[in-house]
Structure 1
Amino acid sequence: ALDISLIVAGTKYRGQFEERLKAIMKELTENPNIIVFIDELHTLVGAGSAEGSLDAANILKPALSRGEIRCIGATTPAEYRKYIEKDRSLERRFQAVKVDPPSEKETIEVLMGVKDRYESFHHVEYTGEAIEAAVYQSSRYITDRFLPDKAIDLVDEAGARAKLREAGYSEEFGEINRSIRVAVEQMETAVSEKNFEKAQFYREQEVQARENLQFVRERFDVKSNSRRVVVGKAEIDEVVSKWTGVPLTSINQDEGDKLLRMEQELHRRVISQEAAISAISRAIRRSRAGLKNPNRPVGSFVFLGPTGVGKTELARALANFLFGSDHALIRFDMSEYMEKHSVSKLIGSPPGYVGHEEGGQLTEKVKRNPYSVVLLDEIEKAHPDLFNILLQVFEDGHLTDGLGNRVNFKNTIIIMTSNIGARFIQKKASLGFQSTDATVVSRSVNDMVLGEVRKTFNPEFINRIDEMIVFEALSDDDLRTITRLLVNQVNDNLVDRKIHLDISTDVVDWIIEQTCKDRSYGARPLRRAIQRYIEDPLSEELIRGRLKGGEIEVYLEAGVLAYRTAGETETEGRPLAGGV
């Protein structure tokens, strides 16, 4: 192997680099059985060149053309195009051979061949299941790297983690290192104060700590050599979870029960909307069962309905259910992309424009979080050029950013929300229908809403969407349930103070009556109402020291909210502060 950087290193005067390279070429010419390998072949271009002199590539060209030296180079397609294809004479002297990544089956054979080295180095033992998991999990979850590199890295890190965990080495090692650092700092302080007796004391402490450190290292090596730790599939899953951010429950194959309970889990956060939750649950189960097109996103949906009925909340709940955190939701407000020029912000500016090197807002976020829910809020407000960009994502599952990088969307769920046709849903809710007519009316309203959508979006855009889901307007019972959920969130914040609020049904109805007279706003006013009528007065009572903990009952008395603690009678109740 020939390292070009080592040949260049230390050359001060003209001719030194050429002299070194000529000596290497002479050695290769005199020994025809030697094949030289140059990694990062593109570094030949320009290496060692100065004004009026040749670079490494031009020095090697005559010998390569005459066949005097045998050379194999390795580089990436992008660097080959950038450096070698431009120099036609250099390109002609090499035969380009494309090396494709091995298949999963071939990668397992590669890992079986190298695992002995990693077992010897880490003093562990890899099970066959761990090797297979490293290949399959890396193929599924690590999309920006190639086999066998990513699978080997998985095996390496899993072995290192298992070794450290078994020995308990890292914690003890860190504690001794901290004691050494403290002793050195105190010794330097004592020397600066010219207190040499104290400095000698801390010096002895440092020496003792370093001896302990050496003892721990030797003990660790003996323990590791005497007993090998077994690395299985669980350790591989843990590393994949650390790398990708996908929770372990999603990686493990025993998530079937969780997926079958998906509707129940989503209903804990999203009230009503049976049809919407059922449709999205079916799509996710199809994907997890392997029945979806592998070249498309997990799902692409349009959520239609009036404001405040749970469209965005369902997207958040879905991100939390699938990926373990609300942070897995990537949200874009489409009102920011109403102008033609603003659409380029999603994929990055083209070459020559300001900000070209920064990449796109959408592509960069998905690149960093390939397992996520992408929410495009109020999609109808976006410029029509945005829909042309999304066509490629929906059909092929990838998008090319302004830097020319292909970003994988095959593991994302794309949700678009819209208020198109909301007036039909609100009109249906305000009129009210008997239960016998509800199904017929719902179908009619859905048809009217979807008709509005077809007038707004192009057919090629609509055809690529998996499902358009119409959200129903919220009923009185739905609003009561949502109010209870919001109060439970307040109780979660009061856990540290050991306070629990108990809200009577009259209070719930009173809050809804005060805030939801106009149903066109949905449930959004309820959050503001809880803050105004419950949280603000409660915070004043806490600051005044009137609430010490326990069960607090909030009830309605003469049109005013009041509270009493456990054990107090109704006559002892007090109005909540703030004059509500």
Structure 2
Amino acid sequence: MGGYFVWQFWSGPKFLIQLFWNVERMLLKAFSVSLMLQTLFSHWHRDAVQYRGGFGDIGLAFAWNAISRIIGLLVRTIVLLLWLITSILIAIAIPLICLFFIAWPVLTLVALFLGFRDGSWPHILAACASMLILAWVYERTRPGHTAGPNIAKEAHSFADLIRILKKHPQAQEFFGRLMIPAEDVNTIVAELEGSGMSWDTFQQSIQNKNILGVCVAACSNPALKHILQKYQLRDEDIAFMLWWLQERADEEAQAKRWWSREHLANVSGVGLSWAAGYTPFIDAWSHIPRGDLWDVSYGHEEEVRRLINSLARRSQSNVLLVGQAGTGRLGVIRRAAQEISTSSAHIALNNQRIVYIHIGELLGLGSSVPEQLHIIAKALLEMERAGNIIAVLDGVSSVLGGMGALPAGRQGGMLNATDILVPFLTSQTVRTVIIMSDEEYDEGIAQNEELAHLFDVVRVRPLSEDATLHLLALAVRLWESEGNISIPYQTLRETIERTSAILPNIPYPERAFDVLEEALASVRGELRRGDTHLLLPEEVTAVISRKLGFDMSALTDNAGKNLLGLEDVIHERVVNQSEAVRAVAHAMIRARAGVRNTKKPIGTFLFLGPTGVGKTETAKALAYAHFGSSEYLVRLDMQQFQEIDTLLPRLTSLIEVHPFAVLLLDEFEKASRQVQQLFLTVFDEGYVKDTHGRSYACTHMIIIATSNAGSEFIRSNVLADGTLPQGFNQKLTEHVLSQDIFTPELVNRFDGVITFTPLSPNHIREVARRMLAALNMRLDEQHGVGVQVTDELIDYLVSVGFDPEFGARPMARAIQDTVEYAVSEAILKGSLVAGQSMIIDPRQFG
């Protein structure tokens, strides 16, 4: 009850006074009072005639300018008088309305008393209606009316908690966005109670006593970790949901507060255009592009502030807004325009307006170079004469002619409007923002001192993954407002996680927006009228799979199962190397189980051993087991790369085209030390940057560096049974480091240093059998014939195809020169036809 009296006799009147003050501020802006006073005797629409000589001209100029000033004075005086009258009326109304508000309950009680005394039902009904209206106003304007139920007051047990969570809209949205069904909400509360936690203890764990605080406290309890894991949720996901729904609640509450200063500040002043010059041509072509990516703002606050401060300078207030397309440059422009329009940006920018022009659209209006230059000059002159324009120019690089110093016209095949732009940029009556990419700035204006000194440079960097996730969440209301689709949190998270290592040429946030909007468009195209749909994470994965030509769902579903049998898969391809295969398999299983750091590559290995012992075959087997095919092995011959500048284009191109792959760095020891050290960042941070600063993520790659370093040391330590001594791997590592082949910090970055042992003649026999089996499969598919594998043939192949120094590598050439040649000759002669199996006598080879 005490809260009501405070509201009725203090908070309510205070609110009314604030309301009227906000209205008064709105009127100041609506009538453009400050601007009207500043320009009271100025020309109407800056419409003035310059004296050009001659007695007749001076008379005409004087008459025209006098008329222009008189018209301006009359109109502005009338507007100021209207404002003054309105303000006086409001000033008179404020105390009267406040007195009535304070007396409202007293007058209601008096009316009710008189009604009962006189038996007047109209008085009684009027008094009752007055009480209902008063109660409604109190409920809508009292402090904290939007906070929702207070759990400490409305719930006294877990049973009460279930009732509140089921009926409250914010609780329903909280669990719905997390894809937790209603029956599991009951389970959550039941397990809280079953964990031995008392109601009082649970209440103490609630940081905010509103409904969102209750939901967070329930889901963050350690006893419910298994339920969160069921829906693949983590503590940070719960914290994100709190932020997201609180932002939505604040936004909805703010939208309802029409009386707030922020809302009323959106009114445009009637005198803005009167104090500026006419801009009919520019108005026809000026528009800031709209889109979900630009209509919401998050994460570029520093760039917005720097842009506004640079524009507010007294002189040379020109800005180059530099960044990749898709980083949110137009979002920065829209946010600055919003602040300027509400007079909350900077006092120097009050009464200014942002005009966006794409130069390409202007060029399309002309059919010849002189005509195009004339159109550009016309647009720039109109903005300059207006006097209140902040010109945002896009596509300017197309008319800078390679930044040369030739006269206006064409230079190097490009239109050159530099001589027109420079006077415009040095004008004191216009502010300019030019939008450019990093490449256009670095290779263009940055090299031209005449233009570069005219600008402040504000770089718009790609958003981080976390900032992009927040931006997506803020944009959900725009997508859902189109109807029929609901977007849960897991879909937003999946979009970020799945795009983190792909499409590096498209920066965040556009990369994530493109994928999500394509998924929405795909779903909407299949919906029938009246249907509703929950956009699932799997649908985002399907869109990315189509973009990449790679089934990401198969990677998720099958990779773990394949890795459990990884040793067997590798041994199907690789002879011997039991210890090496076991070490690789164990490391990959740890990575696949989620123990690894997801910001690094899936696995990084250094394979040490002689040539031809199975290092490359092991890499192929890994590609097959993890990605579903040996085709996902990409190779770099490292002896070709002695300079980083030659490696980077090739490496980034491979990562861009094959973000899901095994990257084989063959003969890694032959790369220069500088090139080797580049991979410290790749192994440690999971990305590499190109010369333009773009990041290429390797977080979905397995990186294997192969090397023959230490081969002789390995051979000299092989035991009689073909194995290596216990602890030899550490000795080999120390040996390689002592030879200064690799640096210690580089070797320590690998998840595993794997040793491959030399192959014995018996191992080579098995290699020959497997190669002949593979040959027979090809022959059967292509010609329906085969070769009988005899011991004599195997013995011969081992005798010519085994070299202790090169391992199994000569065997493929031996089979090609003998068996394959003999079969090919027989097929051409017609002596070997479909259905037959050829017996080869090794003696025929001499």
TM-score w.r.t. structure 2 length?
Answer: 0.48
Cα displacement (A) at 1:332: 3.0
State the alpha-carbon separation in 1 of the partners of residues 462 and 845 from structure 2. 76
Question: Which residue does 2:11 correspond to in 1?
Answer: none
Q: What is the RMSD computed on CA atoms of the aligned residues? A: 4.3
Cα displacement (A) at 1:37: 5.2
Q: Which of these residues, 558, 568, 579, is aligned with residue 264 of structure 1?
A: 568
Residue 151 (structure 1) aligned with residue 512 (structure 2): yes
Q: Structure 2, unaligned stretches of length 5 or more?
A: 1-286, 288-356, 410-416
Question: Which residue does 2:325 correspond to in 1?
Answer: none
The AA in structure 2 aligned to 1:303 is F
Q: Which of these residues, 471, 474, 486, is aligned with residue 759 of structure 2?
A: 474
Question: Which residue does 2:473 correspond to in 1?
Answer: 109
Question: Which residue does 1:361 correspond to in 2?
Answer: 650
State the alpha-carbon separation in 1 of the partners of residues 458 and 800 from structure 2. 75
Question: Which residue does 2:494 correspond to in 1?
Answer: 133
State the alpha-carbon separation in 2 of the partners of residues 505 and 543 from structure 1. 23
Alignment of 1:90-489 (within 5 A): 90-91=454-455, 100=463, 103-110=467-474, 112-116=476-480, 128=488, 132-158=493-519, 232-249=536-553, 251-253=555-557, 255-337=559-641, 342-344=642-644, 346-347=646-647, 360-402=649-691, 405-429=694-718, 432-433=720-721, 441-443=724-726, 445-456=728-739, 457=741, 458-489=743-774
Change in CA separation of 1:247 and 1:264 when aligned onto 2, cut-off 3 Å: farther
State the alpha-carbon separation in 2 of the partners of residues 114 and 508 from structure 1. 72
Residues paired across the two proteins, number: 470
The higher radius of gyration belongs to: 2
**Kept in 1: contact 2:399–2:418 (CA 8 A):** no
Cα displacement (A) at 1:39: 4.5
State the alpha-carbon separation in 1 of the partners of residues 504 and 729 from structure 2. 39
**Kept in 1: contact 2:502–2:656 (CA 8 A):** no
State the alpha-carbon separation in 2 of the partners of residues 42 and 309 from structure 1. 56
Deviations 1:171-211 (A, max 9, x none): xxxxxxxxxxxxxxxxxxxxxxxxxxxxxxxxxxxxxxxxx
Change in CA separation of 1:492 and 1:532 when aligned onto 2, cut-off 3 Å: same
Deviations 1:253-305 (A, max 9, x none): 55322232222222222222222223223333344444334454333322111
Change in CA separation of 1:385 and 1:230 when aligned onto 2, cut-off 3 Å: closer
Q: Secondary structure at the match of 1:256?
A: helix
Residue 50 (structure 1) aligned with residue 408 (structure 2): yes
Q: Secondary structure at the match of 1:468?
A: strand
Q: Secondary structure at the match of 1:417?
A: strand
**Kept in 2: contact 1:295–1:397 (CA 8 A):** yes
**Kept in 1: contact 2:559–2:625 (CA 8 A):** no
State the alpha-carbon separation in 2 of the partners of residues 99 and 446 from structure 1. 43
Q: Structure 1, unaligned stretches of length 5 or more?
A: 167-222, 349-359, 562-574
Q: Which of these residues, 488, 492, 499, is aligned with residue 784 of structure 2?
A: 499
State the alpha-carbon separation in 1 of the partners of residues 359 and 444 from structure 2. 16
**Kept in 2: contact 1:394–1:464 (CA 8 A):** yes
Change in CA separation of 1:44 and 1:106 when aligned onto 2, cut-off 3 Å: farther
State the alpha-carbon separation in 2 of the partners of residues 364 and 380 from structure 1. 22
**Kept in 2: contact 1:110–1:148 (CA 8 A):** no
Alignment of 1:12-91 (within 5 A): 12=370, 16-24=375-383, 29=387, 38-39=393-394, 50=408, 54-56=419-421, 58-59=423-424, 62=427, 74-76=435-437, 87=451, 90-91=454-455
State the alpha-carbon separation in 2 of the partners of residues 108 and 393 from structure 1. 28
**Kept in 1: contact 2:643–2:674 (CA 8 A):** yes
Deviations 1:461-501 (A, max 9, x none): 32333322110222455334322321222122123346364
The AA in structure 1 aligned to 2:495 is A
**Kept in 2: contact 1:323–1:371 (CA 8 A):** yes
State the alpha-carbon separation in 2 of the partners of residues 98 and 148 from structure 1. 10
Question: Which residue does 1:490 correspond to in 2?
Answer: 775
Change in CA separation of 1:302 and 1:77 when aligned onto 2, cut-off 3 Å: same
State the alpha-carbon separation in 2 of the partners of residues 323 and 529 from structure 1. 32
**Kept in 1: contact 2:575–2:767 (CA 8 A):** yes
Change in CA separation of 1:243 and 1:553 when aligned onto 2, cut-off 3 Å: same
State the alpha-carbon separation in 2 of the partners of residues 98 and 486 from structure 1. 53
Q: Secondary structure at the match of 2:613?
A: coil
Question: Which residue does 1:218 correspond to in 2?
Answer: none
The AA in structure 1 aligned to 2:804 is R
Q: Secondary structure at the match of 1:370?
A: coil
Question: Which residue does 1:5 correspond to in 2?
Answer: 360
**Kept in 2: contact 1:346–1:363 (CA 8 A):** no
**Kept in 1: contact 2:639–2:667 (CA 8 A):** yes
**Kept in 1: contact 2:463–2:509 (CA 8 A):** no
Q: Secondary structure at the match of 1:550?
A: coil
Change in CA separation of 1:96 and 1:249 when aligned onto 2, cut-off 3 Å: closer
**Kept in 1: contact 2:644–2:674 (CA 8 A):** no
Question: Which residue does 2:212 correspond to in 1?
Answer: none
Q: Secondary structure at the match of 2:768?
A: helix
Change in CA separation of 1:323 and 1:88 when aligned onto 2, cut-off 3 Å: same
**Kept in 2: contact 1:371–1:411 (CA 8 A):** yes
State the alpha-carbon separation in 2 of the partners of residues 55 and 137 from structure 1. 47
Q: Secondary structure at the match of 1:519?
A: coil
Q: Secondary structure at the match of 1:522?
A: coil
**Kept in 1: contact 2:555–2:628 (CA 8 A):** no
**Kept in 2: contact 1:541–1:547 (CA 8 A):** yes
Change in CA separation of 1:91 and 1:552 when aligned onto 2, cut-off 3 Å: same
Cα displacement (A) at 1:309: 0.6
The AA in structure 2 aligned to 1:313 is E
Cα displacement (A) at 1:453: 0.7
State the alpha-carbon separation in 2 of the partners of residues 99 and 384 from structure 1. 31
Change in CA separation of 1:163 and 1:531 when aligned onto 2, cut-off 3 Å: farther
Deviates more, 1:233-242 or 1:259-268: 233-242
Change in CA separation of 1:536 and 1:228 when aligned onto 2, cut-off 3 Å: farther
Deviations 1:290-339 (A, max 9, x none): 433445433332211122110122223223333344443332334445xx
Deviations 1:126-178 (A, max 9, x none): 764655533432234444433332223223444666788x7xxxxxxxxxxxx
Cα displacement (A) at 1:454: 1.4
**Kept in 1: contact 2:504–2:656 (CA 8 A):** no
State the alpha-carbon separation in 1 of the partners of residues 459 and 835 from structure 2. 76
